[in-house]
Amino acid sequence: MNGRPAVFFDRDGVVNVSPGAGYVLRWEDFHLAPGIVEALALCKARGYATIVVTSQQGVGKGLMTQAALDDIHARMQAELAAHQAAFDGIYACTHLSGTCTCRKPSPEMIVRAETDHGLDLSRSWLIGDHDRDVQMAVNAGVPRTVRILSHHEPKVAADVTLEDTSQLAALLEARLPAV
């Protein structure tokens, strides 16, 4: 495919500060992670599509409504747009484990984004903080993976591991070629 490459971002723990074992259920609890605005702006400046691929099981569990999730994403997009860093697409699996085909590590969200945005996955990247994120990229044929360290012990190897998101823009500055 001759489409544009993308950088896929997990949400909780990458785009925003991880809520830990719980869920971000309202905008007041959503805080952009350090360095993420700069990383997104760099991806856009280099010609990459930026796509969120996120599991939001809190909806499936009834802890929040789809409307509340949509509101959080709309406010996130508005905040990022003020810095020319809004995402080109947001894909969220809101289902309970075992009840769908799109839950990570399934490649389904990435494949849907590929179709919707005409993406070239062979030149794309994924940035996540869990094995399921990295495995989703592998399953979708996304060759470059970055792991942000979290409280989970990694079992699936990523190409690069960073202590936190504050290092992400510098890594992308050095390694993300312009398209």
Helix locations, the chain, DSSP H: 36-45, 57-60, 66-81, 108-117, 131-140, 168-175
pLDDT of residue 151: 75
Q: What are the residues whose beta carbons fall under 8 Å from the beta carbon of 30, sequence distance 6 or more?
A: 16, 24, 72, 75, 76
Per-residue pLDDT at 62: 97
Q: How much is the pLDDT for 29? A: 95
Structural domains of the chain in order of their starting residue, each with its CATH number: 22-175 (3.40.50.1000)
12 is catalytic: yes
Region at 68 (left for phi over 0; alpha for psi -120 to 50; beta for the rest): alpha
Q: Three-state SS for 92?
A: strand
Q: What is the pTM of this model?
A: 0.97
116 classed as catalytic: no
DSSP string, 140-178: HT--EEEEE--SSPP-S--SEEESSGGGHHHHHHHH---
Q: Is 69 exposed, middle or buried, given 0-12, 13-18 or 19+ CB atoms closer than 10 A?
A: buried
pLDDT in the model for residue 128: 97
Rounded CA-CA distance 125/144 in Å is 5
| pLDDT for 2 | 77
Tens-digit pLDDT profile for the chain (179 aa)? 579 999 999 999 999 999 888 899 999 999 999 999 999 999 999 999 999 999 999 999 999 999 999 999 999 999 999 999 999 999 999 999 999 999 999 999 999 999 999 999 999 999 999 999 999 999 999 999 999 998 778 999 999 999 999 999 999 999 999 99
